[in-house]
């Protein structure tokens, strides 16, 4: 999949029918995802087009449903994200590469021998039964990861399974699944790991990291780590103990709640308490039916999913917090409000108590205080035009023959 030559990406875009305008628009949204100004779009485009060849990449799979691969590959027509990822010099991609058998496995050895590559790791690291819970071509998955990561310039852990074990880590975790960073700590491997949780990963975040590596750091991983703004999230793995995870701040530095279009309803105390209710039809806040947006830190509402078509809350589902850590155990049952929730680094854990029809209860009050604080700090504006929204809601409902 390697593409040589100065204008390889440009040629690829032309062949696939992607206009320059679409490409620049896309680069603008990558800038936004990275927390840069959209005026950086031409520079991002130039960085991508000017790269004679991106870094060689090994895409390895651990214990996974391959949902992250699906998230990238399953588009109805090639969009810019898939083209940019196609442009990566991907030497090994277990799920979708044409090569098989010994020939395929040789690609890993050759890439490691050449050096200067990155590893993208999807799925959890299966450590159970001395690593025998996952064998690829007769080799333990744990060994494949260690060998590849030891010589890599960087590892990108994509999806929550790679970040902290994800679904597979859910109690009782008989396969003793864990995340990439926890495993590399255990092995004493110090290669930098970029963590991109959620289930599955948003492909645009991978593209954003590749752009960051090219644009900001000119392919120098040490500069990439130094110049990128990071947040550190910590958790305790049941088998390997305390783990610190590096995540790009532009993507994981703000809560879903802060950017949610239903936030105005939250602050007005307008909640959905039952699916199928008129409140649900009116697009009210989903907090009381289990939304984990307040304690989940990703930019899902900004970047959105499926070629920016929509995202969970916009599609009517509470955020189940798949961008959090140990999210399966912590957040289930998914459609129930939690008894104890994390309110971000500054506020720590709070007990929600009961949230009434109007905003009441400790958590809701704390959330509102958090909102007011953000407003005072100039981080949020006046919020959505509530009266207009309500009028629109009533009209829409009346049209459908529902309650007014």
Residues that bind ligand SF4 (CB under 6 A): 198, 256-257, 260, 262-263, 266, 285-287, 291, 293-294, 296, 298, 300, 311-313, 319-323
Q: What single DSSP character describes residue 40?
A: G
Q: In the complex, what is the shortest distance from the CB of residue 199 to ligand SF4, in angstroms, rounded to a whole number?
A: 6
- Residue closer to ligand SF4 by CB (options 140, 265) is 265
Least distance from ligand SF4 to the Cβ atom of residue 181, Å: 19
Residue 213 or 260: which CB sits closer to ligand SF4? Answer: 260
| Shortest spacing between CB 168 and ligand SF4, in angstroms | 17
CA distance 401 to 29: 39
Nearer to ligand SF4, 174 or 316 (CB): 316
Least distance to ligand SF4, CB of residue 226, Å? 28
| CB 197 within 8 Å of CB 164 | yes
On whether the CB atoms of residues 180 and 127 are closer than 8 A, the answer is no
C-alpha span between 31 and 44 (Å, rounded): 8
By beta-carbon proximity to ligand SF4, the closer residue of 121 and 287 is: 287
Q: Which helix (H) or strand (E) holds 87?
A: helix 80-87
Closer residue to ligand SF4 in complex, CB, 224/252: 252
Q: What are phi and psi of 81, to 5 degrees?
A: -60, -45
State the nearest-atom distance from the C-beta of 395 to ligand SF4, in Å. Answer: 22
How near is the Cβ of 159 to ligand SF4 at its closest, in Å?
11
Question: How far apart are the C-alpha atoms of 107 and 94, rounded to whole Å?
Answer: 11
| Residue ranges with strand state E in 181-290 | 193-196, 230-237, 241-248
d(CA 3, CA 311): 33
Spatial CA neighbour of 341 closest among 272, 295, 283, 309: 295
| CB closer to ligand SF4 out of 86 and 314 | 314
Report the length, in residues, of the chain.
404
Q: Which is nearer to ligand SF4, 82 or 296 (CB)?
A: 296
Write down the least CB distance from residue 196 to ligand SF4, Å.
12
Residue 61 three-state SS: strand
Contact 279, 271 (CB under 8 A): yes
Sheet containing 118-122: order of strands: 89-93, 56-61, 118-122, 154-158, 193-196, 241-248, 230-237
**54 Cβ neighbours under 8 A, 6+ residues apart:** 87, 88, 89, 210, 214
Closest residue (Cβ) to ligand SF4? Answer: 293
Shortest distance, position 122 Cβ to ligand SF4, whole Å: 16
For 244, the token pair is 């610190």
Residue nearer to ligand SF4 on the CB measure, 185 or 298: 298
Nearer to ligand SF4, 24 or 368 (CB): 368
| Location of structure tokens 């958590």 | 363
What is the smallest separation between the CB atom of 272 and ligand SF4, expressed in angstroms?
Answer: 8
């Amino acid at each position: 999949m390697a593409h040589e030559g100065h204008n390889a990406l440009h040629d690829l875009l032309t062949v696939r029918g992607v206009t320059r305008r679409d490409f620049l628009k896309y680069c603008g949204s990558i800038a936004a995802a990275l927390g840069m100004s959209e005026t950086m779009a031409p520079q991002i485009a130039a960085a991508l087009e000017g790269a004679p060849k991106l870094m060689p990449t090994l895409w390895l799979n651990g214990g996974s449903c391959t949902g992250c691969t699906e998230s990238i590959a399953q588009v109805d027509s090639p969009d810019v994200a898939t083209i940019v990822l196609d442009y990566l010099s991907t030497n090994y991609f277990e799920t979708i590469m044409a090569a098989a058998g010994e020939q395929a496995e040789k690609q890993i050895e050759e890439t490691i021998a050449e050096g200067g590559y990155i590893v993208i790791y999807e799925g959890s690291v299966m450590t159970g039964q001395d690593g025998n819970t996952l064998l690829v071509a007769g080799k333990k998955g744990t060994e494949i990861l260690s060998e590849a990561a030891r010589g890599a310039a960087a590892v990108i852990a994509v999806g929550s399974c790679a970040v902290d074990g994800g679904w597979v880590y859910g109690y009782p975790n008989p396969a003793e699944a864990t995340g990439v960073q926890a495993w590399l700590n255990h092995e004493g491997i110090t290669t930098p790991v970029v963590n991109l949780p959620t289930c599955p990963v948003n492909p645009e975040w991978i593209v954003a990291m590749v752009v960051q590596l090219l644009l900001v750091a000119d392919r120098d991983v040490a500069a990439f780590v130094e110049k990128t703004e990071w947040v550190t999230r910590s958790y305790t793995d049941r088998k390997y103990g305390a783990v610190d995870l590096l995540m790009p701040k532009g993507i994981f530095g703000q809560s879903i709640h802060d950017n949610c279009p239903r936030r105005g309803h939250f602050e007005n105390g307008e909640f959905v308490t039952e699916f199928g209710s008129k409140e649900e039809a009116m697009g009210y806040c989903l907090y009381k039916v289990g939304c984990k947006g307040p304690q989940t830190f990703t930019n899902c509402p900004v970047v959105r999913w499926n070629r920016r078509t929509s995202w969970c809350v916009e599609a009517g589902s509470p955020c189940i917090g798949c961008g959090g850590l140990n999210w399966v155990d912590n957040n289930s049952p998914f459609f129930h409000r939690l008894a104890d929730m994390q309110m971000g680094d500054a506020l720590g854990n709070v007990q929600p108590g009961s949230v009434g029809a109007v905003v009441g209860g400790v958590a809701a009050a704390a959330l509102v205080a958090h909102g007011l604080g953000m407003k005072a700090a100039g981080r949020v504006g006046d919020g959505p035009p509530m009266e207009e929204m309500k009028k629109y809601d009533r009209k829409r409902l009346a049209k459908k023959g529902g309650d007014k």
